[in-house]
Structure 1
């Protein structure tokens, strides 16, 4: 084990409150199945909904439907059935890993030219607000797919908690109030949004109860009719009318023709760990593989703090460069996967890293990467049969497009900004793209969502996080934390740093890198912003196969998140 790295990580944790949610089975030589179920998510109501399914005799996949739907109700700032997501599954009975791609797709109207202003520059308002910014939603199709193919409970049972809370309401918490205030000017353009968030005539305030009866009705239609309850009929007609009313253009065949796609997950090894993660159109798995395989060339434990940060940052820099240039929807572009995933390619990248000097990125910028601290959400689930789910879902920016389709309660995403709408122009998260990620009808925009499993002979963990382009490095640091011997809650609490090629700056939470290390990195030629606000919302569960300890870790940066463990025999 990496003892100095472990010590460093523990020191970093000293300033972060830690709460461990653990259950321990009787000690055995090696357990073959977990001693119960564990769920970690971004909201306690979602975690409770998932556990309600486990107690009802459901499995991890039924729990995933309940958690996902509840997050769509109580975290409209982060995700919803008007958005999409990725679900990494492990089916214990067959031993299969499956990646369910429920990413949004581009409507035919969304050509690159549609997002340019009269001067040929990117129209940022159209790219991030209102109907033009929205892709065809994928999350409702994912819920139906998971329930029908992998769950054992009726879809109506798994959606019941979300329907109940949408109708009865839940208390507004600070993130919702603050996020609404930052997006108010956009959200109040749209009558459907005003009907939900200004129902009492005033903006959402902490402690008020937010009721969404129209969303409850939409979820009831999905529960009763499955796919057709959203993509055809009443809801579809209202979505199409709303988009048209606000000047956009969706077609009925685009909604009715949406399909989730099952893809083969990516797999690679890092030291003693087998890592299973997201394939394109996520960029996360490829970047994770590049970074970790580059880092395998160093004994991280033997490096001082500055050089350890240096090599990790340089590995990040190279992976994000490849993300920008090569990655896109594999159904539309040829992604050089064999090269990007190859240990030999990683060795070549490693050889370009100077041990004591930063490698300048092209087109240097002194601006820090924009944060996505409140958008997107993640949950992790492990059940007593060994089924597991790592899922990340999103509407992109705060409250997505800001537009609720009247009569549906559905807040539409603004995922079109994740395309390279104008090649070489950064999106809202400061990352650029080129032809591989240009919009085309039916194409899925590139994502950084990185739901992952990691497994060694002794331990299994499920993890993932929100954070825009910073998702990948959050998951990376989580894996390094597990490798260093941390428990689930300590991994969720780890301080964070990040580099994404452009802009050429190391971003770090305040206190994540000590002043002496910052000075040493600057002497190597790095630009360091070491006092950023916190970001991310990592959710993870883990199982120690030898001790039988089952744990959940929920990011302390998010006070409404929760982790819960249910052991066999308890209700």
Structure 2
């Protein structure tokens, strides 16, 4: 990363030692003494800020942000879903460690590889997208309790209070709500409770319409009062199971009893003096970032915005997503050669395959295998005054999940079962590729692109992430690229985006990513370019410049989020 602290080189040994000492001291500086927050909605940002100002730490604030986002972004996350939390923990002695909290949904215990096949053996897409059979076992409620019990300073009831208030008082419909609701309108109309809560006269509400969720407020109160038992046992659990089973779903109490949060070691690798800490399986993100960023080190140096650099990145994306399609899945269920895939030697091998003058047809890399992934989640990044940080990406998969809300609970079901490879040879809605490693299996966690990531160097700390389905990984990659070129937080979140995912074999991009000459040059290399017709992503970013002790936070202008940096003390 480009530092904002310029060190003048000294010719003497004394000067060299002084420089090394200063660099070492910066690496140990673990407290910005202020806090910074970026979330996808102003009400969630205010909730996290409220908890930090009340004496909570980053993990208490993460609970507040998570629960509140689930209220005000019912299209992106919620108690009926799950997600990943990447934690930065500052110990009492000033040392720093990182931890990945896996709150991904699990397949119900009655699930099996042929769950979505009809009597004729054909895979039926609709049951994995809409309704009760599409829902995995939620992990978010367990994650909120886990964070409070193991890492927070405040009682869960205090951290959940802003979300309860938001559910009771309501939030105003935004243009983003309208757009994502419009994408799922027919499915929402088909469920009376979803239509009652989130539509008006069976139509998308007008901008500014107040959406209140008193049943969800009560569910949050029970979670706050009783912890895990408030959701996975008792009246809420009974209502959830009754509603799911009545609608043809396969949830049972044993699913709730056996659900567990898993703490995992993050993926970690170095780029010069920068440590990249990212998401391990069942996220494909950390492995992909390691392959692409390390592979880039073995390719000829290119200008940042050049066609050659775009070509190199696309070719590395192509190969990484090919590995994802064939090899990656829940490592608690399948044997994945993680160490090999993360190694610098393997990244160099991928780089050596690249022809600098010609795009590689994806079909030449092997037999295609297909799977899908929902494209709407949410993300937040925050850092407290002690240097503790959280980058978290949460999801219910498609907008408004399975478009089914269980009466009496306010809980919208996820449709994360669609992230499994229901048909490892068939074409799907998003054109993503996947194999047997990600097949449906009881208790298994579906593969995900959610990639909360932290970059830490002697002079700078960055927490980054975004929603966006299969494009999450490449958005985070481009954000890291921009940061390493010295871009500020606002420039990073606004950077135009492009993406390649092996299949379909084309560069997907926003409308303003390439000019006419750049398009022509890429096409001359054999690339097929496809403008996606809309902007995508909703990146949330926090940067701490350790040398100058300044904080930046930025929310993607493509969304409706808000970032805050606590004012410096007078």
TM-score (norm 2): 0.91
- Residue number in structure 1 paired with 2:18: none
User: What is the DSSP-based 3-state SS (H/G/I as helix, E as strand, rest coil) of the residue aligned with 2:423?
Assistant: coil
CA gap of 1:380–1:176, structure 2 versus 1, over 3 A, is same
Structure number with the bigger relative contact order (C-alpha 8 A, sep ≥ 6) is 1
* Corresponding position of 1:318: 319
Match for residue 224 of structure 1? 225
Shift of 1:409: 0.2
Aligned to 2:564: 564
- Residue equivalent to 1:419: 420
Q: CA deviation at 1:338?
A: 1.2
Q: 1:201 to 1:417 in 2, by over 3 A?
A: closer
What does residue range 137-536 of structure 1 map to in structure 2 within 5 Å?
137-198=138-199, 203-302=204-303, 305-362=306-363, 375-530=376-531, 532-536=533-537
Query: Match for 1:43 among 37, 41, 44?
Result: 41
1:120 CA displacement: 2.7
Name the SS for the 1:112 alignment partner: coil
Given that 1:127 and 1:133 are in contact with CA atoms closer than 8 Å, whether structure 2 keeps it comes out as yes
> Do the aligned residues in 2 keep the contact of 1:417 with 1:428 (CA within 8 Å)?
no
Q: 1:273 to 1:532 in 2, by over 3 A?
A: farther
Using the TM superposition, give the Cα deviation of residue 79 of structure 1 relative to its aligned residue in structure 2, in angstroms.
0.7
- Paired residue for 2:84? 86
Identify the residue that residue 111 of structure 2 maps to in structure 1.
110
CA distance in 2, matches of 1:202, 1:474: 33
Residue number in structure 1 paired with 2:129: 128
Query: Alpha carbons of 1:371 and 1:139: their partners in 2 closer, same or farther (altered >3 Å)?
Result: closer
1:221 CA displacement:
0.4
User: CA RMSD for the aligned pairs?
Assistant: 2.1
Q: Give the total of aligned pairs.
A: 540
Contact 1:192 1:407 (8 Å CA) reproduced = no
Residues in 1 aligned to 2:64 and 2:382: alpha-carbon distance in whole angstroms: 11
1:60 is matched with: 58
1:297 offset after TM fit, Å?
A: 1.5
- Separation in 2 of the partners of 1:386 and 1:425? 47
Instruction: From the superposition, tell whether residues 298 and 271 of structure 1 become closer, same or farther in structure 2 (CA, over 3 Å).
Output: farther
Report the alpha carbon displacement of residue 95 of structure 1 after superposing the two structures with TM.
Answer: 2.1
TM-score of the pair, normalised by structure 1: 0.91
Per-residue deviation, 1:199: 6.8
SS in 2 for 1:115: coil
Secondary structure of 1:564 counterpart:
strand
What residue is the counterpart of 1:16 in the other structure? none
**Structure 1 unaligned spans of 5+:** 4-28
Partners of 2:373 and 2:282 in 1: CA distance: 21
Distance change in 2, residues 1:468/1:239 (3 Å): same
Report SS of the residue matched to 2:362.
Answer: coil
Whole-Å separation in 2 of the counterparts to 1:238 and 1:427: 33
Alpha-carbon distance in structure 2 between the residues aligned to 1:512 and 1:107: 42
Q: Residues 277 and 450 of structure 1 are in contact (CA less than 8 Å); yes or no, is this contact kept in structure 2? A: yes
Q: Is the 8 A contact 2:299 2:351 kept in 1?
A: no
Equivalent-residue separation in structure 1 for 2:202 and 2:526 (angstroms):
53
- For 1:423-450, what per-residue CA distance to the aligned partner results, in whole angstroms no more than 9, with x for missing partners? 1234443212111111111100000000
Would the alpha carbon gap of residues 311 and 333 (structure 1) be closer, same or farther in structure 2, given more than 3 Å must change?
Answer: same
Determine the C-alpha separation between the residues in 1 that align with 2:512 and 2:303.
23
**Deviation by residue 1:304-327 (Cα, 9 ceiling, x = unmatched):** 711111001001000000011111
